[in-house]
Amino acid sequence: MKIFSADQIKKWDAYTITHEPIASIDLMERAATACCKWLLGKNFGQQHFRIFCGKGNNGGDGLAIARMLIEHKCRVTVYILEFGNIGTPDFQTNLEKLHLLTTDIHFIQSPDFFPPIPENDIVIDALFGTGLNKPLEGISQLLVNHINQSGCTIIAIDMPSGLYADRSSAGNTVISAGITLSFQHYKLAFLVPENEVHCGEVHLLNIGLSREFESRELAAYEWIDPAIPRALYKPRPIFAHKGNFGHAQLIAGSYGMMGAAVLSARACLRSGAGKLTCLVPECGYTILQSAVPEAMCTVNGDRFISDTDGVEKYDAIGIGPGIGIHASHRQWLERVFQEAGASLVIDADALNVLARHPELLSSLPPLTILTPHPREFERLFGPVPNDFERIGLAMESSRKYNVIIVVKGHYSFIACPDGQGYFNSSGNPGMATAGSGDVLTGILTGLLARGYPPKQATLLGVYLHGLAGDIAAAKNSPEALIAGDISNCLGEAFMRLQVV
C-alpha cells in the first residue's frame, strides 16, 4: 500500500472525479456513506452525535454524515464554524440538503457560541481535513481546545483537525481523537509516535478511488501489508538440503549478556538458516551449547569477545547482541567490515561502537542492515527534533552510506538507499520488551543466509518479526509477552504467509 502525500491525495480525488467519472459531490456522498456505515456498525447509533464542521470539503463530509445519521433516526446536532465565507460548493449543497431534515444547526461565531458537550455524547470532528498548512489560531484554536476538554469520545473524519499530513505538528493545537476514520490509504501523520495522542485508532474506509492512479503514481513511502511479504516468501524446494540455506554466523554475547546471544541464535535457526555458528566468549560457551544445541559454537576471549577471524566463509553475519562495549571492538569490527564477503546485520552494542567511532560508517559493506531503536539512531546519526525529521535523516543516511536502516518502533521504518521507505504493519506494544531486537537480528541474519537479497530479507524479516509477536500476544497477552515467545511463534508466522 502506497502512502501518498496530501498533494497526491488531492490529485487522486481529482483523477477519480475526472476518469471514473463521478461528480465531486457524489464522491463526498460515497465517503460519508462509508463513515455512517462504520459508525452504525460499531453501535454508536444510540448516542447523541455532535458534529463540528468547517466550511471546506471536510465540513461537507460532516454535513453529509449528519444527514445520513438523521435518516437512520439518530440524534444529531450540527455546529458550523463561521468565518464569514459561504464555503465550498459541495459544502453548500450538503447544507441545503441538511436544512430539509433538521433545524438543529448552529453557527459558531465566537467562543460565546461554544456549546456544552456532555461526556456521553459523540463528537464528530469535520472542521479541517487533509491539506492544512498552518497552525490553528483564533476561534479555531479555541474551539479545538474546547472539544478536547469535553472528555467525550471524539471521532475525526479524514484527519484530526489541526494535524499536518506530511510534517510535524508538534506544539500545535490539534484535535485529540480516540478514533480517526480516514480514506483508502494511510497518511504519513498516522504512522509516527508523536501523533498517537491525536489520531487514536485509525480505520481506513474504501471509497473507490481510482486504481489506475494508485498503480501509476509513485510514492516515497509504502506500507508493508501482507501482500508484500507473501510475494517475497520462497518455499523450500522438496529436494533441499541444509547446504541450500546458507551458513550464518552470529557474533554475540558477553558475561551477563548471554541471553541476547541465545535469543538471536534461536531466531536465526527458526528463520530457516541451514547452519549457524555462534562466536561467543569463553564464559558463554556452555550456555550457548546447552540452550541452542542446533548451533555450532566458537570462542574468543574470556568475558567478552576480543577478536574474530574466518568471517569470509559465512553467507551472513549478525553482530551486536549482548557484546558490550570494549576497546578491542573497534579493531575487530573494522576488520569484519573489510574481510566479510557476506551480508551483515549490525545491532545493539555493535551500533553503539559505531556511534563512538562514526568513521567506521564509511567502511560498512554495501547494503549492510542497521537496526537501531530511536535512541541508538540518534547516537549514530545525530539528534532530531521530531519523528518526521528522523524519517528524513534515516533516508538521507541510508543513501549516504549505502545501507539499509531499520528504525525500530511500533510501525518500524525501513529506509533503503534506492530512495524508498517502508512502514511495517505487523507488531504490537507487547514487543517493547528486552530481547525483542535480538530476535530481529537473528531473523534477518537467517534470511540473509538463505539467500534473500538484503532489501527483501529486511522487508520480510521485519514483517515476520512483528507477525510472530502478534501471534504471541494473542496467546499470552501483550503484557506477558517475552522475547522468546516471538521466536517460538515464528513457525506459525511462516505458515500464515502461505495462506492466501
DSSP string, 87-140: --HHHHHHHHHHHTT-S-EEEE-SGGGPPP--TTSEEEEES--TT--S---HHH
User: Among residues 186, 199, 228, 75, which one has the least CA distance to residue 125?
Assistant: 199
Place of cell 569477545: 305
pLDDT-based confidence at residue 85 (cuts at 50, 70, 90): confident
Q: Per residue in 11-28, pLDDT tens?
A: 999 999 999 999 999 999
* Residue 151 contacts residue 176 (beta carbons within 8 Å): no
Please tell me the distance from the alpha carbon of residue 494 to that of residue 336, in angstroms, as a whole number. 31
466, 426 contact by CB (below 8 A): yes
> CA 162 from chain center: how many Å?
21
How would residue 70 be classed by pLDDT, with cut points 50, 70 and 90? Answer: very high
Q: Does domain 227-497 have CATH number 3.40.1190.20?
A: yes
Q: How far apart are the first and last CA of the chain?
A: 17
59: amino acid identity, one letter: G
pLDDT of residue 309: 84
* Predicted local confidence at residue 113, as pLDDT: 96
Check whether 111 has a pLDDT greater than 80.
yes
pLDDT at 83 over 90: no
Domain with CATH 3.40.50.10260 in the chain: 2-219
Q: Quick one: pLDDT at residue 2? A: 97
Cell triple for residue 381? 546519526
What's CA 281's distance to the chain center, in Å? 36
Strands (E), 258-315: 275-280, 296-299
Nearest to 111 by CA among 150, 148, 77, 145: 145
Percent of the chain surpassing pLDDT 70: 100
- Provide the pLDDT for residue 247: 97
Share of the chain above pLDDT 90, in %: 97
Contact 94, 60 (CB under 8 A): yes
Confidence of residue 304 (pLDDT cuts 50, 70, 90): very high
Taking 70 as the threshold, does the pLDDT of residue 416 lie above it?
yes
* pLDDT tens per residue across span 389-400: 999 999 999 999
Alpha carbons 96 and 109: distance in angstroms, whole number: 20
The reply to whether CATH 3.30.565.10 applies to domain 2-219 is no
- 145-160 mean pLDDT: 97
Q: Looking at the chain, which residues constitute the CATH 3.40.1190.20 domain(s)? A: 227-497
Q: For residues 267 and 442, is the Cβ–Cβ distance under 8 A?
A: yes
Which residues partner with 222 through β-bridges? Answer: 2, 422
Share in percent of the chain as helix, strand, coil (round to 5): 45, 15, 40
Mean pLDDT taken over the chain: 97
What pLDDT sits at residue 376? Answer: 97
- At 374, the pLDDT band (50, 70, 90 cuts) reads very high
CA atoms lying within 13 Å on the CB side of residue 282? 5
User: How confident is the model over 472-490, as a mean pLDDT?
Assistant: 97
- Judge whether residue 500 has pLDDT over 70: no
pTM for this one? 0.96
Cis, bond preceding 21 (omega within 30 deg of 0): yes
